[in-house]
Amino acid sequence: GAGVSQSPSNKVTEKGKDVELRCDPISGHTALYWYRQSLGQGLEFLIYFQGNSAPDKSGLPSDRFSAERTGGSVSTLTIQRTQQEDSAVYLCASSLFGRGGTETQYFGPGTRLLVL
């Protein structure tokens, strides 16, 4: 497809369950980013992947959060033992060269996660 795609669009889960969120970046983009958008905190950076380099995980809020990127393309964000405060919209973005903030990031439609 032409844009960043994310699945599922919406996810409802029970507290304590694990969830996986998927992101498919724009074809040919080398960099991939995850952000979290919540009412109280606004948009927060979570993690950044660039090519085969080690990811920047500095934004992950706890060790319950992890992410991987397979084959330099699709990424999965996993949240273990979900808590109610994990409820948010999780946004994925990609960029062509991975120059980070000085390059336009293109966003997907997000996954809305609700933890009951």
Partner 1 sequence: AQTVTQSQPEMSVQEAETVTLSCTYDTSESDYYLFWYKQPPSRQMILVIRQEAYKQQNATENRFSVNFQKAAKSFSLKISDSQLGDAAMYFCAYGGSNYKLTFGKGTLLTVNP
Q: Which residues form the interface with partner 1 (CB under 8 A)? A: 31, 33, 35, 42-43, 45, 48, 50, 56, 59, 89, 91, 93, 98, 100-110, 112
Q: Smallest distance from the beta carbon of 35 to partner 1, in angstroms?
A: 8
Q: How far is CA 94 from the centre of its chain?
A: 10
Can you give the three-state secondary structure of 53-98, one letter per residue?
CCCECCCCCCCCEEEEECCCCCEEEEECCCCHHHCEEEEEEEECCC
Contact between 108 and 8 under an 8 Å Cβ cutoff? The reply is no
If the CB atoms of residues 16 and 100 are measured against partner 1, the closer one turns out to be 100
- Minimum distance between the CB of residue 81 and partner 1, rounded to whole angstroms? 26
Kindly tell me which of 37 and 66 has the beta carbon lying closer to partner 1: 37
Shortest spacing between CB 53 and partner 1, in angstroms = 11
Distances (CA, A) of 80 to 94, 107, 109: 24, 24, 23
Q: How far is the CB of 82 from partner 1 (least distance, A)?
A: 20
